[in-house]
Amino acid sequence: MKLASRLDLIKPSATLLITAKANALKAAGRDIIGFGAGEPDFDTPMTARQAAIKAIETGFTKYTPVGGIDELKDAIIDKFKRDNGLSYKRSEIAVSCGAKHTLYNLAQVLFEEGDEVLIPSPYWVSYPDLVLLAGARPVIVETREEEGFKLKPDRLDRAVTGRTKALILNSPSNPSGVAYSKEELSALGEVAARRDLIVITDDVYEKIIYDGLEFANILNACGELKDKTLVVNAVSKAYAMTGWRIGYLGGPEEIVAAVVKLQSQSTSNPTSIAQKAAAAALNGDQAVVVEMAKEFQRRRDFIVEALNGIPGVSCLLPQGAFYVFPRVSNLYGRSFQGKIIGNSAALAVYLLEETGVAVVPGGEFGHDEHIRLSYATSMKNIEEGIRRIRAGVERLA
């Protein structure tokens, strides 16, 4: 049977593949420590769980409006106003089955053959594939480690062509943990406005930010971009609700209507029960979010120091999210039992098979000199995982 040729344009999610392989090894009896998936190891807040139970018990288990129930839209509107100083109407909000689904919908309604979409690297693994599935061309704009992996305005300006339609920004970033300041976003926004770019800002890690840094997205810096900016967020990371699959979008009414139209022919509405839980999470006591971020900062401090203590490894200090992106290219060329470690993929295979530690190759994020580790796991696992990595590095000849 011949499958659709569009599938040849993309590859499976590397993070999910690594997690699946680690889980398969665990099922076979191996002791595996997973630094692969970006999934908080905390429970969903009690208010959200109770709202879901109540929804089930009261029969709120039917179809809902495609773009989300009013209760959830209002909670999202309040959140945007409270946390981001942004004002939206219900017609400017769409709820989907996770932030990835939101981004997929946006790519489908905005991009087509001939369009170019700018993506700073290192990038979340799915951005280029979502653009490719829409028939457009992802254009990777390189950033430099010595500049903190931040996109610079002049580099953005040089990347724009007559075919460029949009820029995707992610701050704090997966995989680097980089977070842009309001001033940095202002400079990027000036280029975006002058070049008439659509901006998609992926803010899913906004609540996981460290060292007193104040979160800002590009609309906080350049309000004049509102008619060209799509703000994407979700309850997944901030509220440990990855499996509930609720993402959302704030943006121009015309684009939101197009997203809802597309979604009506794909998933229809997000799960009714999950919508009730998401509304409760957004409206509820936010202390649990603050406490989670404090714990992630504690883990960040430990893992960065520990990685920098391994000969041949160096690691920048992330400003947000729950990932580290250490440089490991100094280990390339070394070998184990005659097998050369030549790139990030080979190192990831070696660490998984020989030390029982799952990491994601940096090549999947556009920077093969690095690997990504998620510290959204217990301190016990982090300590043991780093010990194994150090021992594995020491065994390389």
Cα–Cα distance measured from residue 99 to residue 234, given in angstroms and rounded to the nearest whole number: 6
What is the pTM (predicted TM-score) of this model?
0.96
The closest alpha carbon to 163, from 188, 139, 132, belongs to 139
* Structure confidence at residue 17 as a pLDDT band (50, 70, 90): confident
Cα–Cα distance measured from residue 341 to residue 350, given in angstroms and rounded to the nearest whole number: 8
pLDDT tens-digit profile of 317-357?
999 999 999 999 999 999 999 999 999 999 999 999 999 99
Q: Residue 39: count other Cβ atoms within 10 Å of its Cβ.
A: 18
At 238, list the tokens: 């901030």
Cα–Cα distance measured from residue 249 to residue 266, given in angstroms and rounded to the nearest whole number: 17
**69, 188, 261, 351 from 21: Cα distances, Å:** 37, 39, 37, 13
Cα–Cα distance measured from residue 139 to residue 156, given in angstroms and rounded to the nearest whole number: 11
pLDDT tens-digit profile of 233-247?
999 999 999 999 999
Ramachandran region, residue 255 (left: φ > 0; alpha: ψ -120 to 50; beta: rest): alpha
- Output the pLDDT for position 13: 79
**Residue type at position 99:** A
pLDDT tens-digit profile of 115-140?
999 999 999 999 999 999 999 999 99
Name the phi and psi angles at 149, rounded to 5: 60, 30
- The 10 Å CB-count burial string (b at 16+, else e) for 238-252 is bbbbbebbbbbbbbb
Cα–Cα distance measured from residue 10 to residue 6, given in angstroms and rounded to the nearest whole number: 8
Cα–Cα distance measured from residue 272 to residue 333, given in angstroms and rounded to the nearest whole number: 53
The closest alpha carbon to 249, from 76, 93, 111, belongs to 93
pLDDT tens-digit profile of 261-293?
999 999 999 999 999 999 999 999 999 999 999
* Structure confidence at residue 16 as a pLDDT band (50, 70, 90): confident
Cα–Cα distance measured from residue 53 to residue 101, given in angstroms and rounded to the nearest whole number: 25
What sign results for the dihedral spanned by CA atoms 182, 184, 185, 190?
Answer: positive
**β-strands 93-96, 247-250 pairing:** antiparallel
Strand residue runs (E) in 277-344: 323-324, 335-336, 339-340
Name the one residue in this structure whose structure tokens are 């010595």.
146
Q: Are 243 and 44 in contact (CB under 8 A)?
A: no
Ramachandran region, residue 30 (left: φ > 0; alpha: ψ -120 to 50; beta: rest): beta
Cα–Cα distance measured from residue 268 to residue 62, given in angstroms and rounded to the nearest whole number: 12
**Which DSSP letter does residue 248 get?**
E
Q: Which helix (H) or strand (E) holds 201?
A: strand 198-202
What's the mean pLDDT when you consider all of the chain? 96
